[in-house]
Amino acid sequence: MHADPTAETATPSSTADAVRRRLVRKGRWSVAEIAFWLVAAATLVFLPERHLILNEIAIIGLFALSLDLILGYAGIVSLGHAAFFGFGAYAAGILAKHGLADPLLGLAVASLATALLGFATSFLVLRGTDLTKLMVTLGVALLLGEIANQASWLTGGADGLQGISMGPVLGLFEFDIFGTTAYAYSLAVTFVLFVIARRIVVSPFGLSLRSIRDNPLRARAVGIPVNRRLVAVYTLAAAYAGVAGALLAQTTQFVSLDVLAFHRSADIMLVLVIGGAGYLYGGLLGAIGFKILQDILSAWTPQYWQFWIGLILVVLVLAGRERLTDRVKALWPRSRPSPDGKAQALPVTPAREV
């Protein structure tokens, strides 16, 4: 591996140490991250008129986070992620409609149900090229959409699922018309799931996912159980999307067929493109960027705001989001990688260039 033959014997343990050190270091919370969540919590107090849209941002952020887990970390492209979002929404909505109005119970049931659905459909995305995966995921979402349309005795069909009334969160906080409880609830759930996802992606499991994303053949060759890992992360991402859907159903107390619609899957892809895939804040930042842009633009021109969103997207993709963020980072010298940081980075194996 290393060109230096004397280092050969020391390599396995030192590499393992380096990896461990790096994972631990990556697992530490940076100041910027803590600040991000503190600001998010502060909006509960300081932006009382914006709680409704913030609630939506938190939910879309969680949904995008879920897509990032499979797309950004495991490299599974999906155009049908709304299948899980919608399934979770209907699960929570139907449960609440039939008297089980406790929100947390609804979340638990919705996440379990979508995890099962995710597990069952994960085997479909193990095979084939990216194009096949796009079509298969799209197909699953379309199937579910049609089932929901036909089963109107259960889902309300095209009229939407009505008559959902939620109980108070933890038996204490009733959902109010200002959306404060809804936002606090969605933000808390998103934060908890974010912390779990963050822990997972800095674990050896997360590292193995990234190696599968970068080169599945080699990952298999070094002994990573590729299929099992992909099934696991797909199931996890499905559960996350299901929770996001359940949050939407519970906080708006209404579910309609469009939770399963293609535009949801496409929008969430857009959110991830805006925020950037492959790091957990991408989905959250993308959701904030997308929703605020949409809110401002559509208030300014309700007819033509999509033109401006499209223009911004084209600019983002052409200019390269990385290039833009790098330029912003360059303005802030402290965030530049320090020489120390470089020294601690993983030893780059020459095999990479082969």
Partner 1 sequence: MRRRTVLSAAGAALAILAFGGAASAQEAMKIGLILPMTGPFASTGRQIEAAAKLYMQQNGDTVAGKKIQLIVKDDTGVADVTKRLAQELIVNDKVGVIAGFGLTPLALAPAPLATQAKVPAVVMAAATATITEASPYIVRTSFTLPQATVPMANWASENGIKKVVTLVSDYGPGIDAEKAFSGAFSAKGGQVESLRVPLANPDFSPFLQKVADAKPDALFVFVPSGVGAQFMKQFVERGLDKSGIKLIGPGDVTDDDILNGMGDVALGAITTHHYSAAHDSPENKAFVEAFKKANNNMRPNFMALGGYDGMHVIYEGLKKSNGAGGEALINAMKGLSWTSPRGPVSIDPQTRDIIQNIYVRKVERVNGELYNVEFATIPSVKDPVKAAKSN
Residues that bind partner 1 (CB under 8 A): 49, 52-53, 55-56, 149-150, 152, 157-160, 162, 168, 173-174, 176-181, 248, 252-254, 256-259, 263, 298-299, 302-303, 305-306
Residues 83/89/92/94 CA torsion (nearest 10 deg): -90
What is residue 5's DSSP assignment?
Answer: G
Closest to partner 1 by CB, 51 vs 229, is 51
Least distance between partner 1 and beta carbon 67 (Å): 18
- The CB density around residue 185, as the number of other CB atoms within 10 Å, is 24
Tokens of 251: 């906080």
Tokens of 270: 């857009």
Q: What angle do CA 36, 50, 281 make, to 5 degrees?
A: 25
- DSSP three-state, residue 161: strand
Least distance between partner 1 and beta carbon 350 (Å): 52
Closest to partner 1 by CB, 8 vs 159, is 159
Least distance between partner 1 and beta carbon 183 (Å): 11
Closest to partner 1 by CB, 150 vs 349, is 150
Alpha-carbon distance of 40 to 155, in angstroms, equals: 34
Report the DSSP beta bridge partners of residue 255: 161
Closest to partner 1 by CB, 14 vs 150, is 150
Least distance between partner 1 and beta carbon 238 (Å): 21
Closest to partner 1 by CB, 56 vs 68, is 56
Alpha-carbon distance of 79 to 63, in angstroms, equals: 13
Least distance between partner 1 and beta carbon 299 (Å): 8
